[in-house]
Amino acid sequence: MVHIMDYKPGAKKVDQLTIYALALSRLPALRLFHFKCAWFDEENYFEFSAGGKKF
């Protein structure tokens, strides 16, 4: 499992993390379902599994 985490002040949904996961999943040994993406700020934490998204 690969975790991609990003600090964002005023944590709002970030599609940028999905783009990171898509780019890294191009490596031969990694598939999109191996990635968990999360973003956070001082008060909030959000996460999703990149493999669960539909493109």
Give me 55's structure tokens: 């493109």
Averaged pLDDT, 23-37: 89
User: Whole-number mean pLDDT of the chain?
Assistant: 86
Closest CA to 50 of 27, 22, 28, 30: 22
**pTM confidence score:** 0.77
Residue 46 burial (C-beta neighbours within 10 Å; 0-12, 13-18, 19+):
middle
Structurally, the chain folds into a number of domains equal to 1
| Position 13 pLDDT exceeds 90 | no
| Position 55 pLDDT exceeds 50 | no
CA of residue 52 relative to chain centroid, distance: 11
The DSSP string of 2-55 is EEEEEE-TT----THHHHHHHHHTTSTT--GGGEEEEEE-SS-EEEEEGGG---
